[in-house]
Structure formats: C-alpha cells, structure tokens
C-alpha cells in the first residue's frame, strides 16, 4: 500500500500524547516505577519501548563506571558489580521531567515500528547485530518476537556471528512484518486513542487520483433589475455578536513526594525485569556462587555519602560550578574524547561555558569555538553526553 508518512503530525502527536500521560500520572506522584511503566498505556509494546530505552541508557552508564584507575577484571569487583546490577534492576524510579523525553521518543518509535518498520530498523544503533543483540530485541519488541527467534535460529544454523541490517530486513520480510498492513495500523491507533485520539489515515496519507470534473454547460443568466442604491453605514451593518472565548488554562501539575518507596518487584513481575539482571551478569562477567558476597548496599551502608549517576550529580549542582559537578573520571573522559587530552583547553572551555548567560549562548560557544577545531560529531556518545551536561547546568 502506497502512502506518505505524515512526519510533522507524528511529532506533534507524540508531544501531545506525552504531555497528557505525564500530566495525568504525575499529578500526585513524583516518580514512576518499573511495573507502572509496563502498565502505563493501553499499548504494551509502547510501554516496553520505554523500558528498552531506560535499559540502553543504563548499560551505557554502567559501562562508563569502568575507570582506567581500577581493576574491573578482578573477581571481587565483577561479583560486587553484578550484585549491584541485580538490586538496581528491581528498583526503576524515574522523575516526571526525566520520563517525558523517554515516552515521547517511544511514541514516535512505536508508530514507526508499525507504519515504517524498515526505517525503524535503520534507526537502531550499529551496522550489524550479534546473537545477543537480537536476543535483547526479543525481550522488548514483543510484536516481532517470533520473527526475531527465527532470525536467531538462522544465525545459529549458518554459524553467523552477526548479521547486518540488510540481511536482517530480508529475514524479517519473509514473515511480512516489514509490510504495512491497515489492520495493524488501526489496532495501534485504537490503543493510542484511549489516551489521545488519532486515526491511521492521519499518519498514512494516501494519494488518490481524482478524475477531472465534467464541465457544466454555460447558460447566460437573464439580467436582473438593479436594486435601489443603499448607502453603506456601520450603524446599520448587521454584525452578529461573538462571545469572547474563554482563555485556556493549562492543567496544574502538583508534584508531591511519594510517601513510601516502591516495593521490589514480586515473583509475578513481567519477565523483562527478571531477565535484565542476567544481561548485566553476562556483560560484566559476573559469576554465580553458592555463598553470595555482600551487596554494595551492605558494604557501604555506614558511609555518609553514596556515588550518584551523572544526572543526579548535575541535579544537585544546578546553578553551581560546572567543573565541580564533574567527577575525576568524567573530567578524564571529556578531556580525552573531546579535547584530544588537552587539560588546559578543557578547563578554559568549562570556564567559558560558566560565563554564558543561557544554554543557547553556551551551545553557540561550543559550536563556534570547539566543534570544528576538534572534529566533534553530534552522533558521538561523548558529545551527546557533554551537551546534556551543559543543558542541566542551565536548566
């Protein structure tokens, strides 16, 4: 079926949908947990895409924990890190301001998954995918799970270590999931419309060939007598009174701290959460032991301060020195990745950012002074993270 994808409508709809969900859910809550995300909307696949995004960002943060100053291949470190991941996987907790961009991105990805599945695959990170990559897909892309399992079986039977995007699309095409079907689009829109109305015909605009209309026969009208001249006057002009519209008032969002922390997920929690810890165990080389080592929480329970993620440290230091909000490892990373190891250039850039009065000014400074000089690419992870750091500084 040939159609044009209405991309501007998709962007607008994702914004409206997100604002409505976030406003409703966070009206009396400050955080959302893992179980609540999985059950948030009427479309379960959309909910899983949000969890998938959280999982991906979490893996990137965990990978950056591997400081060059410590031995992360040590058996004790691997075991401790694995314990930490097992605990954290059951305690997803996201603020409304951090959740909104995750949901907005997931809404657009969900629509593309149904209406433009090939483009959805092209937008995934990486050029090729390993067996483990596809296994991870299978946990979060429930609508494609059967096709993903067939692709994994194909790789195993042919001894393939990975497949590129074109090969993967050819494997999926055999199951028909890369061809848009109206029934799929209508089912998705029906589920989304329970939150905010939308029609499949609005997303997929079909071009119709309209026949040329037949010309009407021309008949000369009989002349009518000219009316008596009537002088124009504003006083005699009949203008209907128009009621003044009621001004729109945006719903107030009352953020209140949630009383108790959410309980850990029970045994009947969704399978996706039960398998996340196993992924981290494989990624960081964790080993199962009969006598489990003490968790990180037990090991550091008497400490006054805990390490925080990049986002948390920035939230606590909003409005303060940007340089002081960075850990030693973060300074090391940005100096090497973005400034070719030049510590002085990094410090000068940080001080220049501090002198800016707005985020836009800081972005202009970075683009004009440093991007071309050091060859930054906007799709590089370090560049993205650094710009997010600057955004937090001015938020």
* Burial state string for 239-277 with b = 16 or more CB within 10 A and e = fewer than 16: eeeeeeeeeeeeeeeeeeeeeeebeebeeeebebbeebb
Does residue 244 carry a pLDDT above 80? no
Does residue 98 carry a pLDDT above 90? yes
- Find where tokens 């960081």 sit: 284
Annotated domain spans of the chain:
4-116+180-185+270-283, 310-394
Band of residue 319 on the pLDDT scale cut at 50, 70, 90: low
- Other C-beta atoms closer than 10 Å to the C-beta of 33 total 19
What's the full length of the chain, in residues?
A: 395
Please state the φ and ψ torsions of residue 147, each to the nearest 5 degrees: -65, -35
Task: Tell me the average pLDDT across 134-161.
Answer: 91
Does residue 268 carry a pLDDT above 50? no
Does residue 237 carry a pLDDT above 60? no
Q: DSSP character for 124? A: S
Least confident of 72-81, 231-240, 286-295, 365-374: 231-240
| Distance (Å, whole) CA 227 – CA 67 | 92
Tell how far CA 274 is from the center of its chain.
22
Band of residue 95 on the pLDDT scale cut at 50, 70, 90: very high
Q: Which residues contact 231 (CB under 8 A, 6 or more apart)?
A: none
Q: Please work out, in degrees rounded to the nearest 5, the angle formed at the alpha carbon of residue 262 by the alpha carbons of 261 and 268.
A: 160
């Amino acid at each position: 079926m040939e159609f044009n994808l209405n991309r501007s409508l998709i962007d607008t709809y994702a914004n409206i949908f997100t604002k409505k969900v976030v406003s409703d859910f966070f009206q009396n809550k400050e955080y959302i947990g893992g179980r609540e995300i999985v059950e948030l909307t009427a479309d379960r696949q959309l909910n899983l895409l949000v969890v998938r995004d959280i999982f991906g960002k979490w893996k990137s943060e965990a990978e950056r924990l591997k400081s060059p100053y410590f031995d992360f291949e040590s058996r004790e470190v691997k075991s401790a890190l694995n314990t930490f991941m097992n605990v954290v996987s059951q305690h997803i907790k996201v603020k409304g301001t951090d959740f909104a961009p995750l949901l907005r991105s997931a809404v657009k990805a969900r629509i593309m998954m149904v209406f433009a599945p090939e483009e959805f695959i092209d937008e995934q990170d990486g050029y090729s995918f390993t067996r483990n990559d596809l296994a991870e897909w299978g946990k979060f892309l429930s609508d494609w799970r059967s096709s993903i399992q067939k692709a994994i079986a194909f790789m195993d039977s042919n001894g393939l270590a990975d497949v590129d995007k074109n090969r993967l699309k050819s494997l999926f095409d055999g199951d028909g999931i890369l061809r848009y079907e109206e029934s799929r689009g209508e089912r998705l829109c029906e589920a989304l419309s329970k939150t905010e109305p939308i029609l499949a015909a609005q997303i997929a605009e079909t071009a119709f060939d309209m026949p040329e209309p037949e010309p009407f026969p021309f008949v000369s009208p009989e002349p009518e007598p000219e009316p008596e001249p009537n002088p124009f006057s504003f006083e005699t002009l009949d203008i209907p009174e128009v009621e003044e519209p009621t001004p729109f008032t945006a719903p107030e969002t009352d953020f209140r701290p949630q009383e108790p922390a959410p309980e850990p997920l029970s045994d009947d929690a969704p399978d996706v959460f039960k398998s996340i810890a196993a992924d981290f165990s494989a990624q960081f080389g964790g080993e199962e032991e009969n006598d489990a080592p003490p968790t990180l929480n037990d090991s550091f329970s008497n400490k006054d301060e805990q390490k925080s993620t990049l986002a948390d440290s920035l939230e606590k230091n909003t409005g303060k020195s940007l340089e002081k909000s960075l850990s030693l490892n973060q300074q090391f990373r940005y100096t090497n990745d973005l400034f070719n190891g030049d510590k002085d250039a990094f410090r000068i850039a940080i001080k220049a950012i501090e002198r800016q009065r707005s985020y836009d000014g800081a972005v202009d400074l970075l683009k004009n002074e440093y991007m071309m000089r050091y060859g930054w690419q906007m799709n590089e992870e370090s560049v993205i993270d650094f710009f997010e750091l600057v955004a937090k500084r001015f938020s």
